Amino acid sequence: MNTQSDDTKPQICRLCLALTSKSFSLITNNVAVEMLQSLTSLKILPTDEISTVMCLKCSLNLKLAYKIQQNMLNAEQRFRAQILASVKQEIDVPQNGKIKTEQLSDEELPKTSAQSTKSLKEKQSEYVCDVCGKKFPALSAIKQHKNNAHVKLECPICKKKVTKYSYSHHFRGHTDSFTMCELCGMVVKKVNFLYHVKAKHKEQSYKCGYCDEVFKRTFTRNMHEKKVHLEQADFVCDTCGKKFYKHSHLKKHVESRHLKLRPHICEFCKVGFSTRYAMLTHRRQHTGEKPYKCEDCGDGFRHKVSLKAHLKSKHNVEEELTCECAECGKKFGSDAALASHKRIH
């Protein structure tokens, strides 16, 4: 990386904007170009009207940063290989990460809600999964669905329980290598690359049928229409009558509010919580982690609401209230805050 510019006239370093009399080309030096693209999304072109050189300090820093990045990635790969080697003897996981599981018996299948007085065609559309409420045309289809979507397997590496359908993708997350997105420079695992491109860079959009809001995914658009426009909460708690838009939300409600389940345990004080988010938030009391930083003074906070209160009291920063309740007209700063408020109506 010693392609030094012949021009001794001071130039501006493209990377730090400092004036330098000893510069190195970012065009002809292929090694430097590869390092820079590996670390950032910055592309230096010969046609650029601004500086195309870097100073000696940035040249050394670039080499150091690239070496650190490669060491981290290599260490991660070696670490994963060691973990896999230690668990391969304990589990029967093929190369593709799939695992064999017992199929559900016919007695374990969810009951059908088809009525004997209806036609066969009507019956076939009413085989309902008793876990998520989805409908299927045949018993074989619902059996396959339940085995794939609701039978959970424990990952031998992280001990997380995932569905059989998601197991292969999850397992690859522990073993896959990394790649860099050329559109934004973000480094992601190969197994998540397509999802990253679709979520961050996909141009296709889905417009709401009731308003002008646009979404990148049909699922997000459909949930928006259900919640905001149709208020179609089909899942009702038998105990308290509370309504939900998704069966999974109803299930979590029953487990936490009525069954009082607390499966997420703090490793420091052994206190249990109903959700992983609540446990991780509590855990900050032990670790001292303060992820929410004030951009004005640098103070850190454990909770986002504490940062908002700080901004209001210390810096006179008021949160923009853009979400209005249709029932009482009260405004909130986010959809989540509005949804939480709606529970009182």
Q: Do the annotations mark residue 240 as ligand-binding?
A: no
At residue 299, what is the residue type? D
Contact 198, 176 (CB under 8 A): no
How many CB atoms within 10 Å of residue 20? 20
Residue 138's SS3 state is coil
Residue 33 Cα to chain centre, angstroms: 31
Dihedral of CA atoms 29, 30, 33, 39 in degrees, nearest 10, equals -130
Rounded to an integer, what distance in angstroms lies between the CA atom of residue 165 and that of residue 147? 8
Residue 325 among known ligand-binding residues: no
The two structure tokens encoding residue 10: 């001071």
Following DSSP, what letter does each residue of 267-305 receive, concatenated? Answer: TTT--EESSHHHHHHHHHHHH----EE-TTT--EESSHH
Q: Binding residue per annotation — 13?
A: yes
Phi, psi of 192, deg, nearest 5? -105, 5
Query: Is 323 known as a binding-site position?
Result: no
Binding-site residue numbers are 13, 16, 55, 58
Binding-site residue numbers for Zn(2+) are 13, 16, 55, 58
